[in-house]
Amino acid sequence: MPGKPKKPSSGNRVTIKATGRGKSPKAASSAIYRSDVLDAIAEDGDTVGRGKNLLKHPDTVDLNEEELKEEITRVLNVTNTTIPDNLVIFSHKEKKFEAVPSPGNHLQLMHYEGDYYHKNSREGRAQLKRDGAFLKPDVAYGGVEEGNGEKLDDDAMEEDEGVEVDGEESPPKTEETKEEEKGEDQEDKGEEKDEEEQEEETANAEVEGDAQAKTSDGSIMLNLPPKKLTNQFNFCERAALTYNNPQRDLATQTVPPPRANIARLVTQWTIFDAYEEDFAHQQRLKELEKKKEKTTTGGTPWSGPPVTSKASESSHDTLTSRMLRAAKRLERMLNQNIYEEISHDFKYWEDPSDEYREEEGTLLPLWKFSYDRTRKMNVTALSWNPEYKDLFAVGYGSFDFSKQPAEGSVCLFSLKNTSHPEYVAWLWTGVCSIDFHPQGQPYLIAVGLVDGNVAVYSIQKAPPHVLDKPLYRSDSVANKHAKAVWQVRWGSNMPDGEIPFYSVSLDGSVFCWIVANNELNRTLVITLSLPIDPIPGPDSVTIPLTACGTAFAFHPTEHNIFLVGTEEGRIYKCSTAYASLYLSTWDAHHMPVHCIGYNPFNPSIFLSCGGDWRVKIWEDNRSEPLFVFDVGSPIGDAAWAPYSSTSFAAVSWDGRAHVFDLSINKYHSICSQALVQRRRSRLTTVAFNHKHPIIIVGDDRGIVTSLKLSPNLRKKPKPPKKGQVYDPMQLEVTKLEKLLSLVREPSILSPAPDVISTTS
C-alpha cells in the first residue's frame, strides 16, 4: 500500500518500480544495456570511429557565430484575416443600419453537455457523501479519499510483480508470499479504521446540529439530505388523443387513349421541305398580325415616343412576363415596408379629437403619387376603377392652351405600390379626360385628348408597366372633334352587344362613339346652340352660334337623359332621342361650368360648380338652386360622396379642399383644409373611393395626394331602435328627403283650415 513501507521478501532481490503505469518488468529492464553489448560496440572501430558527413544545400547562406547566436522572435497569433470586421444590418425598428459584432476567432468544432459535477462543488460533495467518500479542504484537484482517509490517486504507482538484480529479472511471487502480504495489509487497515471511527464519533458529538463536521485529519463531512439531481433539459411530457380520419379509397376507370404506330423514312430533302413549309407559315402569320393592327387602329398606328418604344422593346426582349410579375410583387412588398406607418394610418387611424367636435372634421394626408416624367404637367382627370378598389387612373395634360406639352400621359396607380405607376401610356398630345368602363369591362379606359381625338385602352392583355398602343383610336380629320374633348363617359351597352361612350367638346358637339367590329364609329347626338340669332356671314350666309361644352353627366336610371354644362355658364338637359331640342335649361353660373354630377341616392338632385367660386345644389324641374355655397376661389372640381346622400367635396384654386355635409351644416363646410401652397400650385380634380373612406386630389404640379376622412366627415344615420328595419340605402334616402322638405317651397299656397271656416 502507498504510504506504508513494505517488508522485503526472502532472497537477495531488489525491487525496481517502473516510471509509467501498467508497464511490465520486461519493458523496465529493456532500458539497461548489458556490458558485453557495450564492449562489442566499442571494439567495432568502423561503427564508432567513422565520422558523420553533413549534407549542405548549395543555396544555404553562410552565417557567422554572431548571426547564428542572434535570436529572432516570431509571434504566432490566431487572428483570422478572412473574417470581416465591418458587418452591418438594417434595423426596421430603429430605421437605420446597426453594426453587427464580430464573430471572433474561436471556432467551435464540437459542443457536448455532460452530466458530471465538480467534486469541490456543493452537489459534488453531497454526492460523494452519499457514496461514502469525503474531501479534504486542501484538496483541489487531487484524488478522492475514501472513508478510511486514504487518498485514491489515479496516477498511483502500481506494484510490480517482478524485480531485477544487476540487470537480471527476479522470479515472480509465489502464492504463499501473496497471501502473507494480503493478510498483513488487512490487519493494518482494520487498526486504522477503528481509530478513525472513534475520532469521527467524538467530532460529531461536539458539533451536533451543525450542517458541517470535521474529521480528525481536517476533512469536511456534509450532513445534507439526499437531493435529486436537477434535470438538464427541464421538459414536460404531454399526450393527446386525436381523431383519426377514416381512410377512403377512390378509384376511377378511364378509357385508354387510342394508339397508332407510324413509320416513315426520313431523308435530308424531307427535313428541308418541312423547314420550308414552317417558315412560310410563320411569314403568313406575321402578315395577318400586321393587317389586324391596321384595322383595329382605324388608320396608321401611332407608335408613341421613340424613347418609350425602345425601352419597352428592350425590356420585353430581356425579361419575361413572369419575371416582371415577380419584380412587381417584390416592389410592392418593399413599398409597404417603407411606408408601414402610413399603411397603418390608412387602415386603423381614427381622429380622437372628433369626439370633442360635433360639426367639424379633418383630412389626414396619406400617400403622394407622382411620376418623374409628368412633374411639370397638370393633373386633368382622375377615375377610380369600379372592380379593383385600389386602382385609379390619372390623366396628365395642361389647362393652358397656349403652352401645351409635346406629349400627354395616362398613368394607373395602385395603393399597394406608391413609388411607380402600374401602367403608363404615352400619347401624342395632352389628356383632358378619362373614364373606366363601369359595367362588365373594367379593363377598358376611354381617353379624351386636347386635339379632339378619343382613344380606348385595354389593360387586360397589356404587359406590365406599359400600354403600348390604344385599342381603338379616332385619327382621321373627319372622325374627331374640332377642339379639345373636355369629358368622356361610358354609356350602357346596347342590345346587340355594342359598347358606346360619349364625349363633349369645346366645338359644341356631343358625340356617341360605338366600339364594334374592331372599329370606332361616330354618331352626332346633339349640337349645343346658343339662344341667340345667327350672325351674317359671307355670301349672305347666316352662321348659328354654338355653345362650348365643358362637362356632362348621365342620369343614373334613365340612361338616355344627360346634363351638359357650357363655358357660358348654362346647363342643358338633353336626350339622346332628340338631336335638336333641350328638355330644360338652367342659368347656373356666371363663368364656365367645371363639373356636373348626379346624386347617387336621389337621381333628381344634382350639383354643379364653376369658376364663379360657387357650388350649387339643384333639383330637377326647379329653376332655382336649393343650396348655394361660396368658397372664395374658383372651384376646379366637385364630387358626391358614395357613402352619404348629403355629403360632397370640392377643391379650389387656392389649394384648399372643402367637405360639406348638408345634414350637419347647411351653410358652411364642415372641413376646409389647405393641401398645397396658395401661390405656387392649385388643386384641379377630386375623386372619392367607392369602398375606403379616402379621397384623391390632383394639382397642377403633377402630384396626386390621398387623404383619409375623419369619423365626423363620414357619419351615417342611425337606424330606429323600434319599428321597421331599414337598410342603409333607405336610411340615406330618408335623410335626404327630410332635408329637402325643409328647403322646398310649395308651388300653391293653401289657406289654413280655420281661415276657411271663418270666411264661410
Grid cell locating 456: 380606348
Who contacts 715 (Cβ-Cβ below 8 Å, separation ≥6)? 644, 661, 663, 664
Answer with the residue of higher pLDDT: 637 or 8.
Answer: 637
CA distances from 674 to 146, 640, 746 (A): 93, 20, 40
What is the pairing mode between strands 656-661 and 671-674? antiparallel
Among 591, 596, 595, CA closest to 606: 596
CA dihedral 642, 647, 651, 656 (to 10 degrees): -130
CA distances from 742 to 298, 663, 666 (A): 55, 11, 11
Q: According to the model, what pLDDT value does residue 433 have?
A: 93
**Residue 441, helix vs strand vs coil:** coil
Q: How far apart are the first and last CA of the chain?
A: 150
Whether residue 623 is predicted with pLDDT greater than 70 in this model: the reply is: yes
Q: According to the model, what pLDDT value does residue 191 have?
A: 54
Q: Please check whether residue 524 is in contact with residue 507, taking contact to mean a CB–CB distance below 8 angstroms.
A: no
Neighbours of 379 (CB within 10 A): 28
What is the DSSP code string of 103-168?
--S-------------TTSHHHHHHHHHTT-BB-TT-SSSPEE-TTS-EE-TTPPPPPS--EETTE
Q: Please check whether residue 349 is in contact with residue 708, taking contact to mean a CB–CB distance below 8 angstroms.
A: yes
The size of the chain, in residues, is 760
What CA–CA distance (Å, rounded) separates 627 from 606?
11
Whether residue 569 is predicted with pLDDT greater than 50 in this model: the reply is: yes
Question: Which residues are registered as beta bridge partners of 633?
Answer: none
What CA–CA distance (Å, rounded) separates 572 from 553?
11
Q: According to the model, what pLDDT value does residue 138 have?
A: 45
Residue 292: φ, ψ to 5°: -65, -40
Among 657, 670, 751, 668, CA closest to 715: 670
Q: According to the model, what pLDDT value does residue 599 have?
A: 93
Q: What is the mean pLDDT of residues 322-346?
A: 85
Q: According to the model, what pLDDT value does residue 564 have?
A: 94
Whether residue 488 is predicted with pLDDT greater than 80 in this model: the reply is: yes
Q: According to the model, what pLDDT value does residue 753 have?
A: 60
Whether residue 219 is predicted with pLDDT greater than 80 in this model: the reply is: no
Low-confidence winner among 90-94, 132-136, 201-205 (lowest mean pLDDT) = 201-205
Spell 680-706 as b/e; 16+ CB within 10 A means b.
Answer: ebbbbbbbbbeeebbbbbbbbbbbbbb
Whether residue 720 is predicted with pLDDT greater than 90 in this model: the reply is: no
Q: What is the 3-state secondary structure (H, E, C) of 298-310?
A: CCCCCCCCHHHHH
Residue 687: φ, ψ to 5°: -155, 140
Q: According to the model, what pLDDT value does residue 106 have?
A: 73
Q: According to the model, what pLDDT value does residue 741 have?
A: 86
**Residue 28, helix vs strand vs coil:** helix
User: Model confidence over 671-706: pLDDT tens digits?
Assistant: 999 998 767 788 999 999 998 999 999 998 899 999
User: Model confidence over 458-484: pLDDT tens digits?
Assistant: 888 766 667 778 888 887 777 889 889
Q: Please check whether residue 638 is in contact with residue 649, taking contact to mean a CB–CB distance below 8 angstroms.
A: yes
Q: According to the model, what pLDDT value does residue 53 have?
A: 67
Report pTM: 0.57
Q: What is the mean pLDDT of residues 139-145?
A: 43
Q: According to the model, what pLDDT value does residue 186 have?
A: 57
What CA–CA distance (Å, rounded) separates 667 from 673?
17
Q: According to the model, what pLDDT value does residue 717 have?
A: 84
The continuous run of DSSP H or E covering 197 comes out as helix 175-206
Whether residue 427 is predicted with pLDDT greater than 50 in this model: the reply is: yes
Question: Which residues are registered as beta bridge partners of 500?
Answer: 514
User: Model confidence over 276-332: pLDDT tens digits?
Assistant: 999 999 888 888 888 776 655 444 444 444 444 444 555 455 556 777 778 888 888
Whether residue 152 is predicted with pLDDT greater than 50 in this model: the reply is: no
Spell 51-76 as b/e; 16+ CB within 10 A means b.
Answer: eeeeeeeeeeeeeeeeeeeeeeeeee
Residue with cell 390623366: 395
Who contacts 121 (Cβ-Cβ below 8 Å, separation ≥6)? none
The DSSP output letter for 756 is H
Q: What is the mean pLDDT of residues 88-105?
A: 86
Residue with cell 482517509: 149
Whether residue 616 is predicted with pLDDT greater than 90 in this model: the reply is: yes
What is the widest separation between alpha-carbon atoms in the chain?
A: 175
Radius of gyration of the chain (CA): 51
Whether residue 565 is predicted with pLDDT greater than 90 in this model: the reply is: yes
Looking at the chain, the whole-number percentage of residues with pLDDT higher than 90 is 22
Q: According to the model, what pLDDT value does residue 570 have?
A: 92
Q: According to the model, what pLDDT value does residue 178 have?
A: 54
For residue 1, name the pLDDT band (cuts at 50, 70, 90): very low
For residue 412, name the pLDDT band (cuts at 50, 70, 90): very high
Q: What is the mean pLDDT of residues 436-451?
A: 89
Burial class (CB in 10 A: 0-12, 13-18, 19+), 672: middle
Residue with cell 411569314: 283
**Most confident segment among 234-248, 295-309, 412-426, 514-528:** 412-426
What CA–CA distance (Å, rounded) separates 715 from 663?
10
What CA–CA distance (Å, rounded) separates 362 from 368?
18
Who contacts 638 (Cβ-Cβ below 8 Å, separation ≥6)? 594, 595, 597, 607, 608, 609, 615, 648, 649, 650, 651, 686
What is the average pLDDT score of the chain? 76
Low-confidence winner among 47-51, 205-209, 347-351, 674-678 (lowest mean pLDDT) = 205-209
The vertex-500 CA angle with 498 and 501, nearest 5°, equals 165
What crossing angle do the helices spanning 321-338 and 340-348 adopt, rounded to 10°?
80
For residue 553, name the pLDDT band (cuts at 50, 70, 90): very high
Who contacts 115 (Cβ-Cβ below 8 Å, separation ≥6)? 229, 232
User: Model confidence over 372-387: pLDDT tens digits?
Assistant: 888 888 999 999 999 9
Residue with cell 376603377: 385
Among 505, 502, 524, 506, CA closest to 515: 502
Residue 68: φ, ψ to 5°: -70, -35
